Structure 1
Amino acid sequence: MGSLRMTGKAAGAALPESSCAYLLQELKMIWDEVGQDKNERERILQELEQECQEVYRRKVNSANMSRIQLHQALAESEAEFTNLLLSLGERSFPGRPEKMTGTLKEQLNAITPALQEMQMRKEARVKQFMEVQTEIQRIASEIAGHAGNEAVTVNEEDLSLKKLEEYQSELQRLKREKSDRLCKVEEYKVLIHNFAKVMGMDPSKILANVHPRLLDGPNEQQTKNISDDILKKLNMTVQQLQEEKNSRRDKLHSLVKALTNLWNILDTNMEERQPFGQIKIFATTSANGMLGPGNLTLETIQQVESEVNRLDQLKASKMKDLYLKKRAEVDEICKKSHMDLPYQTEMDTILDLIMSGDVDHDDLLKTMNEYVYKAKEEATSRKDIMDKVEKWMSSCDEERWLEEYSRVRWLPNDHLQYAFSPSFISLS
């Protein structure tokens, strides 16, 4: 009956009332007093022994499971510790015990603090990777020109300092590229502001046509668009403004040159020139230099253009007067020399050109002076003949006067007085 059977020593010894042996002894005393059958006693003792074995077995199984769990926990802790070392790129950790000795609980208690420290280091390293990768994505999105709202994923298999340094190097490169692009954007914005100021345009509208985020807003931390497309559009805008500026400057320069020429032709006084004096100064001195605000506005160019048109009309009127004056001089020469008017068709053509504004003042003066000179030259070549004609005509007049005198000398005095009166002489 195994352990439930008592030896004489055990039966005679004093036992605690709560022990199994005491209870078994008390049970036998009861059986003796009752007269319990021996076979029944053997059956009951056998059942008790089986029940005890089952209780012990459960306890052993429970203890064995605890041991297995401790082994597993210790193995998992060691594996996790090793994985953390590998992911963090470290070969060893000072807090980890070199040799695992003692009971399982002692070994587990020895590795747990080092494991917790490594977990905290991993969390800190993941946070560093997250910050760096998030910043890289943000700047890369700005350079690419899209929103960049994708979630950042950290590869926890490689959290080494070497990998972190690679990301940090990439971040520094992107920051330098962003800085260069921002400087380029600011340069373009300054050029656009300067061009707009000179030509009287609104720079905010120009920049808004390129991209709304180029405008200076209250939130300096807002995402900026510094993509290649934006830089290309800004460059094209600057080129267009440069071309427009050059076109306006050349046009204004040409207009001011024409205005100055008209002033000289028309002998315009200083009082009439004064409103355009400043425009003339910057138009003639700023061909390759700096222009002030508003120097190339459309209003300024239109103002000069209107004045040039007004003076052109005035010049046409004065040129017509000059033409008529010179033509009258030619007519007078021809009349005195009894010549037909030469160059009639040419001078009529000149008049048509004057009315259309296609004749220069100097060309007109030169041409008409040539006509006057040729008319005078022709008159000079006829001078001898004209002198002879005039002498002949004078002789004819003298002979006619003498004949009249001879005819009327024999008239009575009253008739004679009438014959030599101014009215009679004039009639004869």
Structure 2
Amino acid sequence: MLANGGHGSSIRTSSTCTALLRELEVLQCVNEVHSLCSVLGLDFGQTVGDVHPSLHGTQVEQSTNISNSTLEGLEQAILKLKIERKTRISEAKLFEVWNLMDSSKEERNCFMKITSIVEASESEITERGILSIEMIEKASAEVDRLAKLKASRMKELVFKKRSELEEICRLTHIEPDPSTVAEKASALIDSGLVDPSELLAKIKEQIIKAEDEVLSRKEENWLDKYNQSAWQCTHINLKRAEYARITIGKIPAIVDNVINKTLAWEDEKKTYFLYDRARFEVL
């Protein structure tokens, strides 16, 4: 009888341990569901209640149903919640929420939480409500607003650069590229057929080409002026050489004239005309 009593006690102890382990497993699952619901902004009570009403009791350790079906239901709920979390993380990252940093400081403060998930792993995303539908939709709307604002600013920049191109072309009598004319550029941007950044880059290339043409023309003008100046210098030098040749040709007559005047002076004065103690005629 003692042996049978001991065996029965062991069975009861084993059953108790199994039940406690199962209850602990269920409790761990419930805690994980609670954590996921918190991050996703979902109703925890409704989520676990859909698995089994007892899971939403105030005293879980006493009223929780720990059957296999309950445990399986919790595991399925956890799987669905993790898939939903993954989907929302992907959506948040797809929004390129880093664009929110273009907003003012006050606007950025509203989205600091969601911008923090861009570089975070799934296990690091635990803050309450950070992936709620409301937060995702709010971030999506803000990104859309910024995208429209950015497109508007890009259009203004495109028009400004186009005006700059046209002014350069006007001053240098160059015909600007018609592919980026303001009306056409505006229609392309509005239709979404072209990225404003690409259009802006194209206009900048056209400006560089126009400026290169201006520089090339300046170099040609400089060369023309240089050639003209060189010709003028040559002409002046030729004139100077001719003047020198004529002057040299006059020197002998000038010398003879000076000698004759010197001799006449000597005859008149009855003395020699000296220059540095030497007779001038001898010099």
Band the TM-score falls in, shorter-chain normalisation: 0.5 to 0.7
- Please list the CA deviations of residues 94-122 of structure 1 after superposition, one character each: whole Å capped at 9, or x if unmatched: xxxxxxxxxxxxxxxxxxxxxxxxxxxxx
Specify the SS of the correspondent of 1:201.
coil
Q: CA deviation at 1:204?
A: 0.7
Contact 2:51 2:74 in 1 (8 A): yes
Tell me, yes or no, if the aligned pair for 1:188 and 1:234 is still in contact at 8 Å.
yes
Aligned residue for 1:171? 12
CA contact (8 A) 2:85 2:131 kept: yes
1:329 aligns with 2:164: yes
Give 2:56's aligned amino acid.
L
1:312·1:357 contact (CA, 8 Å) conserved in 2? Answer: no
Q: Which has the larger radius of gyration?
A: 1
Query: CA 1:360/1:179 → structure 2, altered by over 3 Å: closer, same or farther?
Result: farther
In 2, Cα distance between equivalents of 1:366 and 1:360: 10
Name the CA shift for 1:258/1:359 in 2 (closer, same or farther; >3 Å). farther
Q: Kindly tell me: are residues 174 and 364 of structure 1, through their superposed partners in 2, closer, same or farther at Cα, counting changes over 3 Å?
A: farther
Residue 184 of structure 1 deviates from its aligned partner by 1.0
Aligned length: 221
Specify the alignment match of 2:57 in structure 1: 216
TM-score for both structures, normalised by structure 2: 0.65
Give the Cα–Cα distance (whole angstroms) in 1 for the partners of residues 162 and 109 of structure 2: 35
Q: Classify the secondary structure of the residue corresponding to 1:340.
A: coil
CA offset at residue 308 of structure 1?
Answer: 0.9
> 1:373: how far off?
0.9
**Where does structure 2 lack aligned partners over 5 or more consecutive residues?**
224-283
Contact 1:196 1:203 in 2 (8 A): yes
* Closer, same or farther: CA 186–366 of 1 in aligned 2, 3 Å: same
Deviations 1:233-257 (A, max 9, x none): 2112112212222322333344322
| 2:73 paired with 1:233 | yes
TM-score, reference length from structure 1: 0.45
Question: Structure 1's 219 and 375: CA in aligned 2 closer, same or farther, altered over 3 A?
Answer: closer
Quote the offset at 1:164 in angstroms.
3.5
CA spacing shift, 1:298–1:212, aligned 2, 3 Å: same
CA distance in 1, matches of 2:188, 2:126: 38
Q: What is the match of residue 200 of structure 1?
A: 41
Aligned equivalent of 1:338: 173
5+ residue gaps, structure 1: 1-159, 389-428
Within 5 Å, give how 1:14-93 maps onto structure 2. none
**Partners of 2:92 and 2:118 within 8 A in 1:** no
CA distance in structure 1 between the aligned counterparts of 2:35 and 2:60, rounded to whole angstroms: 24
Change (3 A) 1:345 1:242: same
Task: Indicate conservation of the 8 Å contact 1:198/1:292, yes or no.
Answer: yes
> For the residues of structure 2 that align with 1:359 and 1:250, how far apart are their CA atoms?
26
| Partners of 2:117 and 2:125 within 8 A in 1 | no
Query: How well do the aligned residues superpose, as a CA RMSD in angstroms?
Result: 3.3
* Aligned counterpart, 2:201: 366
Q: Which residue of 2 aligns with 1:185?
A: 26
CA distance in 1, matches of 2:218, 2:114: 56
**Relative contact order higher in (CA < 8 Å, ≥ 6 apart):** 2
Structure 1 range deviating more: 231-240 or 367-376: 367-376
The percent identity for this pair of structures is 31
AA aligned opposite 2:160: K
Match in the other structure for 2:145: 310
Q: Does 1:283 align with 2:117?
A: yes
1:386, CA displacement in angstroms?
Answer: 8.5
Q: Name the CA distance, whole Å, in 2 between partners of 1:172 and 1:296.
A: 44
Matched-pair contact (CA < 8 Å) for 2:37–2:43: yes
Cα deviation for residue 215 of structure 1 reads 2.0
Counterpart-to-counterpart distance in 1, 2:108 and 2:68: 50
Mapped contact 1:199–1:245 kept (Cα < 8 A)? yes
The AA in structure 2 aligned to 1:170 is: I
- Please state whether the residue corresponding to 1:300 is helix, strand or coil: helix
* CA displacement at 1:192 relative to structure 2: 0.9
* AA of the residue aligned to 2:82: Q
Is contact 2:158-2:196 (8 Å) kept?
no
CA–CA separation in structure 2 for the residues paired with 1:190 and 1:365? 54
Partner of 1:273: 108
- For 2:211, the equivalent position in structure 1 comes to 376
Is 1:258 paired with 2:88? no
- Which amino acid is 2:189 matched to? I
1:188–1:238 Cα contact (<8 Å) kept: yes
Looking at structure 1, the residues matched to 204 and 60 of structure 2 have their Cα atoms a distance apart, in angstroms, of 75
Aligned equivalents of 1:345, 1:284: Cα separation in 2: 37
Change (3 A) 1:231 1:180: same
